[in-house]
Structure 1
Amino acid sequence: MTIETQETSSGRSLFARAPRGTSGSREQKKRDFVPYLYVLPALVAYSLFILVPWAQSIWTSFWHWDGIGAATWAGLENYVAVFSNDDLSIALRNGLGFIIFYSVIPVVLGALLAAVIAARPRRGTGLVRTVLFLPQILPLVAVGVIWRYLYSADGPINQTLSAIGLGGAARAWLGDFVWAYPAVGAVGTWVSTGLCVLLLLSGIQKIDPSLYEAAKLDRCGPVGLFMHVTLPGIRKEVVVALTVTLIAALASFDIVYVTTGGGPGLQTIVPGVLIYRLVFTSNEVGLACALATVLSAIILVFVALIGRLGREQT
């Protein structure tokens, strides 16, 4: 039995859906607005604790203020000082230099280690991943204390060098004007590598195994597999890893402050430590806010560039 659609004299079906009226459009708007209600609490908290203090810091950067007394208008003087004052310029250069230790080296090492772990899964792989990720769950202050002991004059590093006949290479690593900076940078590499390994390993595990099989049929060796299959497959994860580690590099504070305090001299001074000194030692809050604003702008530019490169390559 079939039911034929009845039509009116105007040719329209009696069972055709009527056009949505005003009440229907209102209901649709309400439904479209519901997701924003779930985001609203987080947005309010983010605005109160991040956006509002950030805006206040930018405003303060245009004033000479010691944090207690009356402020006087400075205009762009604080920003001129950021780029003309030698101490502030050194801090910015050191912060940019830490990108190599905190970001570039960990991402490269992380990609290589993740490729090795994924290519040869064996018993104990889970333990290896746990050990590599361990620095991420340790407080950075504790990390700084541990490495300050390791680098001490009579610490394990110098003792090991002496035990293998390289006692001449032993030194006070964190007090050496040449080696203090790379020594602190090596701590950043140790902290960031485990995170990069896990991020990139998760990306490798999503690559279709048939791509590796096809590459092997084309007589592609381990290096070719890594360059032509693995790297293109983890491009998005590389962007995430670069973004996270780059922010950590430019915003570094805990490790530097605990290990060297910015010394010897200004060899390891970074913007985070210098901002702390300007506020709590020199009482130059306006100048500290200007340095923080410049640092925020540099971070935003780098993050935008990394994101854009990632989109162009996908």
Structure 2
Amino acid sequence: MIRAGAHRRAAVRRNTARGWLLLLPALAAYVGFVVWPLGMGIQYSFFDWNGVGPATWVGLDNYASVFGDPELLGSIRNAFVLIVFFTVIPVTVGLVLATLIRSLRSGAFSRASQTILFLPQVIPLAAAGIAWSWMYAQTGAVNEILGRLGLDGLTRPWLADYDTALPAVGLIGSWVLTGLCTVLLLTGIGKIDRSLYEAVRLDGAGWWREFFTITLPGLRQEIAVLVTISIIAALSSFDIIYTSTQGGPGRATLVPGISIYRIGFTQSDVGLASAFGIVLMILVLACVLPIQRLARVRDR
């Protein structure tokens, strides 16, 4: 008995050692590319440094500058507005499209619909921003379509108008993320037990009640994942906005990613850029962690 127990403990130690050996490459990459840069960013945020010369300790002054600068606070506000376009619209439209596609018979049309909807997710975000900036131009496809529909009064340079620039950029994000939401939700619907639908139909339930009593609760985990991904995409958006408006006109589409880039690389204020990056990370965690916690609690 004692010898058998010793053999088992030795086997467990060997397996543990093998597991750590297999984990070490990924762990080293994570520490090198995530933990170490994060630690350096936190360190830089307490200094006044231009990235080349000597650094001067300033304590929390950089953080005070972030919360005292109307331009930086405005960029945060714009990022939260983009959550409506990057999260609410794609998830809502994705739910509707996934439900409609699922109600169709599985065939060529259903597969083609999924492929077409998912295509924007494959396109690089920088390319999507450039393509949509062409379509939003005064002589672009959007104004051309409005003109052909007799809505000439609505035509405008969408990305150069202070009132429409941010919603126009937000709709690019909606277009990119809707396909991902639809495909993931469609997969989630496929995992729901079909007998549940048959049971509510026997009770005389219509489509509306079926959706809210079976489909929506069954997609809680998928929705939580999509909301998490899309909120992070909204708060850390850079590619689409940089290639389409570069934060303009004025500060109408300025977001934290653009501000951090300008502060760090144009103004050479690495300390302030690092502080703003840490603030942005905290905002992302403050938005995402409650969603994840709520999803876990409801599944118990």
Matched, 1:61 2:45: yes
Matched, 1:200 2:165: no
How far apart are residue 153 of structure 1 and its match?
Answer: 0.5
Q: 1:159 is aligned with what amino acid?
A: E
Q: Aligned-residue CA RMSD in angstroms?
A: 1.2
Q: Percent identity?
A: 45
In the alignment, what sits opposite 2:152? 167
How far apart are residue 24 of structure 1 and its match?
Answer: 3.2
In the alignment, what sits opposite 2:298? 313
Matched, 1:41 2:25: yes
Equivalent residue runs for 1:34-183 within 5 Å:
34-121=18-105, 122-183=107-168
Q: 1:60 is aligned with what amino acid?
A: Y
8 A Cα contact 2:104 2:110, kept in partner: no
Matched, 1:258 2:243: yes
Q: Distance in 1 between matches of 2:104 and 2:8?
A: 58
Q: Distance in 2 between matches of 1:33 and 1:212?
A: 49
Matched, 1:229 2:214: yes
Which SS does the other structure have where 1:297 is aligned?
A: helix
In the alignment, what sits opposite 1:3? none
How far apart are residue 34 of structure 1 and its match?
Answer: 2.6
**Distance change (3 Å), C-alpha of 1:28 and 1:101:** same
Q: Distance in 1 between matches of 2:194 and 2:18?
A: 41
In the alignment, what sits opposite 2:232? 247
Q: Distance in 2 between matches of 1:138 and 1:286?
A: 34
Q: 2:278 is aligned with what amino acid?
A: T
How far apart are residue 70 of structure 1 and its match?
Answer: 1.1
How far apart are residue 213 of structure 1 and its match?
Answer: 0.2
8 A Cα contact 2:245 2:253, kept in partner: yes
Q: Distance in 2 between matches of 1:144 and 1:99?
A: 17
Count of aligned pairs? 298
How far apart are residue 111 of structure 1 and its match?
Answer: 1.1
Q: Distance in 2 between matches of 1:104 and 1:167?
A: 29
In the alignment, what sits opposite 1:302? 287
Q: Distance in 1 between matches of 2:172 and 2:291?
A: 24
Q: Distance in 1 between matches of 2:277 and 2:198?
A: 50
Q: TM-score, normalised by structure 2?
A: 0.96
Q: 1:51 is aligned with what amino acid?
A: V
**Distance change (3 Å), C-alpha of 1:33 and 1:302:** farther
How far apart are residue 301 of structure 1 and its match?
Answer: 1.9
Q: Distance in 2 between matches of 1:96 and 1:167?
A: 31
8 A Cα contact 2:137 2:157, kept in partner: yes
In the alignment, what sits opposite 1:25? 9
| 4+ runs deviating over 4 angstroms | none
How far apart are residue 33 of structure 1 and its match?
Answer: 3.6
Q: Distance in 2 between matches of 1:272 and 1:85?
A: 16
Which SS does the other structure have where 1:152 is aligned?
A: coil
Q: 2:27 is aligned with what amino acid?
A: L
Matched, 1:216 2:201: yes
How far apart are residue 123 of structure 1 and its match?
Answer: 3.2
How far apart are residue 18 of structure 1 and its match?
Answer: 5.7
Task: Choose 1 or 2 for highest CA Rg.
Answer: 1
Matched, 1:277 2:286: no
How far apart are residue 82 of structure 1 and its match?
Answer: 0.9
Q: 2:51 is aligned with what amino acid?
A: G
